[in-house]
A and B are shown apart, each in its own frame.
Chain A
């Protein structure tokens, strides 16, 4: 016995076809085969516009999707079928037709309790030369189609079930991503990648508010392929009317433009305890595809968590910054330096590159504190830190080693290069005039004593390198301060002195 399309399909795939397209293609093919049709077409009816949208057709052994929006003639067989929800046969010079309408409700893909109606008709066709549809045949074909639609309803439920599974997975995994996001540098990346993995928008962008400068600053953008890039070049003044992003953050009107594209763009202000900290934008602008309502709902429900994760990351970085950096001079602290020193030393050793260490001490700093008070002392330290930071290369690493002692690591720098830097720092600091109110002097000058040691000439271990720089510094201090000494020069001078050649200050 010949099997019908429905049986064939079920046998081939082991299940009912997923998706309306695949299901209807199978049903049209089965109809054509079972009722000896020349063609069958699947239309959906839009009651608002009164248009029939052709979506699928099967003819001459080929199923094909097609898009055509046409209006049924009032009073025509198709119009009567839609109106009465009953199959209507018709004959015209174009052929014999059977219009079989359907109206089915399927579960709301948004997960709501409601149902989404689907209304349309299937047109079965025979060429004019062939027999017309008898009432019995029409009833049979109509019933056959309806049985298919019942199966479709089941398939729709199955698909919905899978969607729910996916959502539950997304909720679980995304919550984990948000909860474990710590450092700003990678947590923002994780958050955006997480959103892309589960939602797959054309683009997700994160902007954060820079309260100090009243700006909305771009952070990261992740595209549909999950590639994340920095958008730090984007800065939007946080003023009404400056940009629509600013308006959204400030809670102003979204305008007609946003209303039009609300289906494919979601602007989600991120707020923590009622304070807006940024803006998350997801869009399907490139594909111009609608963001499904359930995706919008789900993402919105994540909004609080995302905001919290973003805020946590920023706080974490702030705490880390406080524990690694000196707040006064903005220079890294000793603990951080020790770690970097090991790394830089290892690198210099491995790649046989020079490494210079500059050890500086602010002259008479204790006296400054005792005479003018700690406020002035702090000012001296702040200015010293500023001068140092503004004179270094990116690879150099300064540190407030303790009190008024500052160490600077200069990778790939020789003793002479370190000396030049030390001279520049001394020069710039000596030109500074720090005002001292209520004092005769009115202003204060700052000088540095600096000792320099280098790897590999002066030392072969980290401890030895520190020791040699300290020796050089001590030498400067014992020779009147406000000077610079390279350990190698100092050693040579000491040697010369020991040999009875007199003293010679290295700088």
Chain B
């Protein structure tokens, strides 16, 4: 049995999975299980390559996918129905906000099993923001408050590498996961509420993208960071603020405090959910389903998620983790009104369209020839194609 795992900027995830698979192999010695770690792009390409030529490009038996790829790949006939085989799915043992998106059209069937989730939040070091922010919870609740605080934060003289803001999960350029919280915070989005038309061009959507791009234009975040290439991710001690969807290792030791993502009127925020799916063409279907069921057992789901600072999706362990969490109050707020990526057929493609636009804009920003017109042009183009896609699918 082969498993394709999504790669992560945090290597702890890969190691945790390796260890998890070791435990699975001990529990099921008759099943030979291997895994390979694929980047999001490579996973996407591999799945489509399988669709185009299944013989030459076999698909893994189990794949980890972002939850909102489920509708697309199940409609393309690549995923097995799991509700009848994975007990937690059958018994709907997940928080309602996850189930609502997972089973958009059919409550009795599910084509993937929610595994772990994360939500971006704002981390800050009280010592570093002293003098710039008097009442963090109030001042940093809005984007404007946060943005003003970034301007006021000053580097301690002894730290040459100090940065006001760090984004540990960044891939170098501005990406969809960077801009989505701002876009949704402004009540913008990629599609209208009924998903009948693309809204890349709405003022709220443009404003959300612009909020994040402005951070790059003004140098608050560094694109394609040379320092990161040389020295790896910046340690928490070198930053005043960090935006991360993971609980940061050693956060308490570094004196980091956490607040909800700024500027989310609902008080909640973007929640990213990752699922396990079984290939419909798997020759080891029983073993694959057994692995998914086993991974969903509370102890295993909890162990895996805890290993790299995220939350398990299974309701009981999710609630346990929330109760035990040091910053329980903040996470409870984040998960009080969580917003998931819509699990509709064209959404993953729409993300790619936006990703491409953001890549082009990131390059322009680095070359210092970015203009607002560029953003408008990119989003008009992307909207045109997204609308066209909606008409096709």
How distant is the Cα of A61 from the Cα of B392 in the complex, in angstroms? 44
B349 touches A287 (CB 8 A): yes
Q: Which of these, B40, B44, B172, B385, contacts A285 with CB under 8 Å?
A: B385
Which has the most chain B C-beta neighbours within 10 Å: A55, A70, A257? A70
A49-B363, A65-B39 as given contacts; A72 in contact with B393, CB under 8 Å = no
Residues of A within 8 A of B352 (CB): 288
The interface-forming segment of B25-33, B229-237, B240-248, B297-305 is: B229-237
A285 touches B389 (CB 8 A): yes
Asked if B368 is an interface residue, CB under 8 A from chain A, the answer is no
1/0 contact string of B6-35 vs chain A (CB within 8 Å): 010101001100100000000000000000
Asked if A186 is an interface residue, CB under 8 A from chain B, the answer is no
Q: Which of these, A62, A72, A285, contacts B349 with CB under 8 Å?
A: A285
CB distance from B173 to the nearest CB of A (A): 6
A60-B11, A64-B14, A67-B39 as given contacts; A94 in contact with B232, CB under 8 Å = yes
Asked if A462 is an interface residue, CB under 8 A from chain B, the answer is no
A65 touches B38 (CB 8 A): yes
How distant is the Cα of A68 from the Cα of B170 in the complex, in angstroms? 8
A203-B392, A288-B353 as given contacts; A62 in contact with B15, CB under 8 Å = yes
A68-B171, A70-B172 as given contacts; A62 in contact with B37, CB under 8 Å = yes
Residues of B within 8 A of A73 (CB): 226-227, 229-230
Residue of A nearest to B175 (CB): A67
Q: Which of these, B14, B72, B356, contacts A62 with CB under 8 Å?
A: B14
Residues of B within 8 A of A257 (CB): 381, 384-385
Q: Which of these, A55, A76, A286, contacts B346 with CB under 8 Å?
A: A286
B7 touches A225 (CB 8 A): no
Residues of B within 8 A of A71 (CB): 224-226, 229, 366
Residues of A within 8 A of B7 (CB): 64-67
CB distance from A290 to the nearest CB of B (A): 10
How distant is the Cα of A225 from the Cα of B352 in the complex, in angstroms? 21
Asked if B228 is an interface residue, CB under 8 A from chain A, the answer is yes
1/0 contact string of B123-158 vs chain A (CB within 8 Å): 000000000000000000000000000000000000
Asked if A21 is an interface residue, CB under 8 A from chain B, the answer is yes
Give B333-367 interface residues, CB cut-off 8 Å to A: 346, 349, 352-353, 356, 363, 366
B353 touches A69 (CB 8 A): no
How distant is the Cα of A67 from the Cα of B353 in the complex, in angstroms? 17
Residue of B nearest to A53 (CB): B172
Residues of B within 8 A of A52 (CB): 229
Asked if A237 is an interface residue, CB under 8 A from chain B, the answer is no
Asked if B372 is an interface residue, CB under 8 A from chain A, the answer is no
How distant is the Cα of A361 from the Cα of B346 in the complex, in angstroms? 60
CB distance from B94 to the nearest CB of A (A): 28
How distant is the Cα of A200 from the Cα of B76 in the complex, in angstroms? 13
A93-B231, A203-B392, A286-B393 as given contacts; A69 in contact with B349, CB under 8 Å = no
Residues of B within 8 A of A203 (CB): 392
1/0 contact string of A261-291 vs chain B (CB within 8 Å): 1000000000000000000000001111100
Q: Which of these, A66, A256, A285, A289, contacts B39 with CB under 8 Å?
A: A66
The interface-forming segment of B46-54, B81-89, B195-203, B269-277 is: B46-54
Asked if A348 is an interface residue, CB under 8 A from chain B, the answer is no
B230 touches A67 (CB 8 A): no
A69 touches B226 (CB 8 A): no
Asked if A78 is an interface residue, CB under 8 A from chain B, the answer is yes
Q: How large is the interface on A (under 10, 10 to 19, 20 to 34, 35 or more residues)?
A: 35 or more
1/0 contact string of A65-92 vs chain B (CB within 8 Å): 1111111110010100000000000001
Residue of B nearest to A78 (CB): B229
Residues of B within 8 A of A261 (CB): 385
How distant is the Cα of A92 from the Cα of B227 in the complex, in angstroms? 12
Residues of B within 8 A of A76 (CB): 226, 230
A49-B363, A68-B172, A224-B76 as given contacts; A59 in contact with B37, CB under 8 Å = no
B226 touches A287 (CB 8 A): no
CB distance from A472 to the nearest CB of B (A): 56
Asked if B219 is an interface residue, CB under 8 A from chain A, the answer is no
Residue of B nearest to A205 (CB): B392
Give A332-347 interface residues, CB cut-off 8 Å to B: none
Residues of A within 8 A of B58 (CB): none
1/0 contact string of B205-232 vs chain A (CB within 8 Å): 0000000000000000000111111111
Residues of A within 8 A of B42 (CB): 21, 65
How distant is the Cα of A408 from the Cα of B322 in the complex, in angstroms? 77
CB distance from B139 to the nearest CB of A (A): 33
In the complex, how many residue pairs between chain A and chain B have their CB atoms under 8 Å apart?
Answer: 111
How distant is the Cα of A262 from the Cα of B356 in the complex, in angstroms? 15
Give A153-212 interface residues, CB cut-off 8 Å to B: 199-200, 202-203
Asked if B77 is an interface residue, CB under 8 A from chain A, the answer is yes
Asked if B36 is an interface residue, CB under 8 A from chain A, the answer is yes
A94 touches B231 (CB 8 A): yes
A67 touches B226 (CB 8 A): no
Give A470-507 interface residues, CB cut-off 8 Å to B: none
How distant is the Cα of A260 from the Cα of B41 in the complex, in angstroms? 20
A70 touches B51 (CB 8 A): no
Asked if B97 is an interface residue, CB under 8 A from chain A, the answer is no
A62-B18, A67-B39, A257-B381 as given contacts; A287 in contact with B48, CB under 8 Å = yes
Q: Which of these, A62, A93, A224, A286, contacts B389 with CB under 8 Å?
A: A286
A51-B172, A52-B229, A71-B229 as given contacts; A63 in contact with B356, CB under 8 Å = no
B76 touches A225 (CB 8 A): yes
Q: Which of these, A63, A72, A285, contacts B229 with CB under 8 Å?
A: A72
How distant is the Cα of A287 from the Cα of B69 in the complex, in angstroms? 12
1/0 contact string of A32-70 vs chain B (CB within 8 Å): 000000000000000001011001000111111111111
Residue of A nearest to B173 (CB): A69
B231 touches A70 (CB 8 A): no
How distant is the Cα of A384 from the Cα of B18 in the complex, in angstroms? 80
Residues of A within 8 A of B224 (CB): 51, 69-71
Give B239-277 interface residues, CB cut-off 8 Å to A: none
A76-B230, A203-B392 as given contacts; A289 in contact with B48, CB under 8 Å = yes
CB distance from B26 to the nearest CB of A (A): 18
CB distance from B232 to the nearest CB of A (A): 6
Residue of B nearest to A66 (CB): B7
Residues of B within 8 A of A65 (CB): 7, 37-39, 42
How distant is the Cα of A55 from the Cα of B37 in the complex, in angstroms? 11
A70 touches B53 (CB 8 A): no
1/0 contact string of A345-377 vs chain B (CB within 8 Å): 000000000000000000000000000000000
Asked if B320 is an interface residue, CB under 8 A from chain A, the answer is no
A51-B224, A72-B229 as given contacts; A285 in contact with B18, CB under 8 Å = no
Residues of B within 8 A of A288 (CB): 349, 352-353, 356
Residue of B nearest to A234 (CB): B391
1/0 contact string of B61-97 vs chain A (CB within 8 Å): 0000000000010001100000000000000000000
Asked if B45 is an interface residue, CB under 8 A from chain A, the answer is yes
Known: A92-B231, A260-B381, A286-B72. 6 other contacts (CB 8 A): A60-B15, A62-B14, A67-B41, A199-B52, A224-B76, A257-B385
Q: What are 12 A-B contacts defined by CB distance under 8 Å?
A: A49-B363, A62-B15, A65-B7, A66-B37, A68-B171, A71-B224, A71-B366, A73-B227, A73-B230, A76-B230, A224-B76, A286-B389
Residues of B within 8 A of A (CB): 7, 9, 11, 14-15, 18, 36-42, 44-45, 48, 51-53, 72, 76-77, 171-173, 224-232, 346, 349, 352-353, 356, 363, 366, 381, 384-385, 388-389, 392-393
User: What 5 A-B pairs have minimum CB-CB distances, sorted nearest first?
Assistant: A200-B52, A64-B37, A69-B172, A70-B229, A73-B226
Residues of A within 8 A of B (CB): 21, 49, 51-52, 55, 59-73, 76, 78, 92-94, 199-200, 202-203, 224-225, 256-257, 260-261, 285-289
